[in-house]
Amino acid sequence: MSLRLATFNVENLMNRFDFSGYRNQLNEDRTLALFDIQSEAEYKMLEQARAIAQSDDTRQLTALAIAATRADIICMQEVDNIEALKAFEYGYLFKMVGHGYRQKYTTAGNDSRGIDVAVMMRNETAQGQPIEFVRMTSHAYVTFEQFGLHTPELAALGHQANQRIFRRDCLEIDLTVGRVPLTLYLVHFKSMGSPRNGVDGRQATMPLRIAEAQAVRRIIEERFGGDHAADKYWAICGDMNDYRQRVKISGDAFDGYRFEVIDESQSCLNVLTASGFCENAVERRPEMDRWTLYHTRGPQ
C-alpha cells in the first residue's frame, strides 16, 4: 500500500461571523482596532467586510498549501462544519486540483468556538488504489474519570474528574486503501495559551495535553491491543500544539540571524512515542527542517 497522508491546521475555516471583538478586545482584529468605531452596528458591518476580504486571501493560501502536499488524504483542524468544508473545496481547492477530494467527513466536538477536526479524501490514491470510508467514531465524550487520568495538576487548573478530556475530539476514521485497513486518529490538542501565574503558556497547559495524549494512546491500545498495535496500519494526525524541539532564532536582518536547535525535556509527544509505541514522522527530516509552526508575537 502506497499512500500520501497530510495534516494541516487551516485556522478558522468558518462560514459565520464572529462579532465578539466588539466587547472583548482580545478578540478584536488589529485592523479594526485602528479605527474609532461608534456603535455595535457599525462594528458588525465593518467586521463583515473585513472578514470576507481577508478570508478570500487566506483561503487561496490554504488551497495552495494543500495542493502542494499532493496528498491522497488530508486531515484538517479548525473546520467549522461540513458546509464550510464543502464551500472551501469547491470554491478554492477545486480550481487548483480539479475533482480531487470528493470524500469529506467531520463531526461536532467539544470546542467552545465550534471548530472541529475533519478529513478530506480522494476516491483513489495517485497509484490508483481505491480509498473507501468504513466508519467514523467520535471519542469527544470520554472523561478524565473514565480513563483514570485525573491528576492533582489537572485539578489545580480547575479541571474536574467528570469533565471531558479532549478539547476538541479524538476522531477515529476507519478506511480501506486498496482493500487494506487503515485507521486515522484526528486530534487537535489544547492550545498553549497565555502565561499565567508566572508560568509560560506551554507549561501551564501541559497537564491537559499530556492527558489528551494518554487518552489517544489508550484508545489505540484498547482497539488493537498493546502488544499488537505495531502490526496494524494506523496514524495519529493533527495539531498537538506541542513540540519536542524548537529552533531559537537570534540576531537580526542587519547583523545576520543565528539558529539554535533546542531539545525540550517535556512534551506530550513523549507519551505517544514512549517505548516505541509510534514514530514521530517529523523527526525523519533534518533538524532545521522540522518546524511546523511559527509565531508572530515579536522578538520577546
CB 287 within 8 A of CB 245: yes
Show Cβ contacts of residue 204 under 8 Å, excluding neighbours closer than 6 positions. Answer: 157, 193, 195, 196, 197
pLDDT value at 297 more than 60 = no
Q: Are 104 and 119 in contact (CB under 8 A)?
A: yes
Q: Which pLDDT tens digit goes with each residue over 66-76? A: 999 999 999 99
Q: 24 or 185: which carries more pLDDT confidence?
A: 185
Query: What is the rounded average pLDDT of the residues 125-141?
Result: 97
Question: In whole angstroms, what is the distance from residue 211 CA to residue 152 CA?
Answer: 12
Q: What is the mean pLDDT of the chain?
A: 92
- The whole-number average pLDDT for the span 59-64 is 95
pLDDT, position 62: 95
Per-residue pLDDT at 249:
87
End-to-end CA, the chain: 46
User: pLDDT band for position 298 (50/70/90)?
Assistant: low
Other C-beta atoms lying within 10 Å of the C-beta of residue 9: 20
Lowest mean pLDDT segment, chosen from 90-104, 158-172, 223-237, 284-298: 284-298
In this predicted model, what pLDDT tens digit does every residue of 244-288 receive, in sequence order?
A: 999 988 898 899 999 999 999 999 999 999 999 999 999 999 999
**Residue 128 identity:** G
Q: Which of 95-99, 123-127, 247-251 has the lowest mean pLDDT?
A: 95-99
Q: Are 185 and 170 in contact (CB under 8 A)?
A: yes
Give dist(CA 207, CA 80) in Å, integer.
27
Q: How many CA atoms lie within 13 A of 13 on its CB side?
A: 27
pLDDT for the residue numbered 197 = 76
pTM exceeds 0.95: no
pLDDT above 60 (res 237) = yes
Model confidence at 58, in pLDDT bands (50, 70, 90)?
A: very high
Mean pLDDT, residues 32-48 taken together: 92
User: CA of 180: how far to CAs of 15, 131, 141, 210, 288, in Å?
Assistant: 36, 9, 29, 31, 35
> For residue range 137-179, what is the model confidence (pLDDT) as tens digits?
999 999 999 999 999 999 999 999 999 999 999 999 999 999 9
pLDDT over threshold 80, residue 188: yes
Q: Give residue 262's Cα distance to chain centre.
A: 23
Place of cell 490538542: 189
Does the pLDDT value for residue 198 go beyond 90?
A: no
pLDDT of residue 294: 66
Q: How confident is the model at residue 299 (pLDDT cuts 50, 70, 90)?
A: low
- The answer to whether 6 and 65 have CB atoms below 8 angstroms apart is no
Length of the chain: 300
pLDDT at 201: 87
- Report yes or no: 184 and 175 within 8 Å, Cβ to Cβ: yes
